[in-house]
Amino acid sequence: MTKPIPALDPLIPANAGERSSGPHARFRQLWNLLFLGLRKVGVDARSFYGAVGIFLVVGAVIALGATLGFAELAEYVLGGSTQAFDVSILQWFHAHQNKTFTGLMVEVTYLGTGTVVMMIVIIVALFLWHTEHKHSARLLLAATAGNILLNGALKLVYHRPRPTVFAWQTTAVSSSFPSGHAMSATVVYGTVAYLVMRLQKHRWARVLTLVCTVLLILLICITRLYLGVHYPSDVIGGIIVGLGWASFCMVTLEASLALARRRAPREVIEERRAPAEAATETI
């Protein structure tokens, strides 16, 4: 059985003695070299600011990877290569619709609309600001604003018509690719979950938060397919861009907090992560 690929953490050394063959081994070796390189640069950095810069570079790499993945998907979408797949998935959802389930999907899809998302952002940002987590509040606002601008720009560029496989079960505006609901859910709920997990002391609580967030995002995305207002490729594209943007914002927050603590540690004491669990604590 092939061992899992090491976590994306430049501070975790690669397992140099691990042996296997095939494409997975080559892929793992590539990541091993990357992690070792980042670790060496981090250790050898002569200044604190150089180390912070490394984290920013990692964030930029993640964003670049997401950008390239989205561009590749967009090329297939514009070329019509995904159309047969998109239509077949929508037809499957249409064949399994019923009145009760449709009503539930309509309610759930509202969790990804602009009004609901903005209300959540405002409430969470106010809470973070008044509990002295001002950097976190700024991150959430910046991530949300960037998501709105990025999604609007991408829709204007690609201007893909919405599907007409069956009659829509809800209202929808603007073009189809990428899905605004998928992007908003990924960025906003993902960022909120990340900020909550930073403040949670127990591993089981962080895992539960992560699992619930992933399920919520996936459910919102599925509603867009069930209701007939998006193709699957629209949703996948929205998730890819959302993950890239949210990841970049998260890494930027960690770097900015590191700088802030060095310059004025007393002003950002409340922004510290929750203490790690004791080794003997059981989940």
> pLDDT tens-digit profile of 34-78?
455 545 544 444 444 454 555 566 667 777 888 888 888 989 998
d(CA 105, CA 203): 32
By C-alpha distance, which of 161, 281, 150 is closest to 229? Answer: 161
Half-sphere exposure of 240 (CA within 13 A, CB side): 20
Q: Quote the pLDDT of residue 139.
A: 86
Query: What CATH number labels 47-271?
Result: 1.20.144
Q: Quote the pLDDT of residue 88.
A: 94
* Mean pLDDT, range 83-111, rounded to an integer: 92
Beta carbons of 167 and 228 less than 8 angstroms apart: yes
Model pTM score: 0.74
Mean pLDDT over all residues of the chain? 78
Read off the pLDDT of residues 101-143 as tens digits, 9 standing for 90 and up.
Answer: 899 999 999 999 888 999 999 999 999 888 888 888 888 998 9
Lowest model confidence (mean pLDDT) among 134-138, 143-147, 172-176, 270-274: 270-274
Q: Regarding predicted confidence, which is higher, 11 or 204?
A: 204
By C-alpha distance, which of 220, 275, 273 is closest to 250? Answer: 273
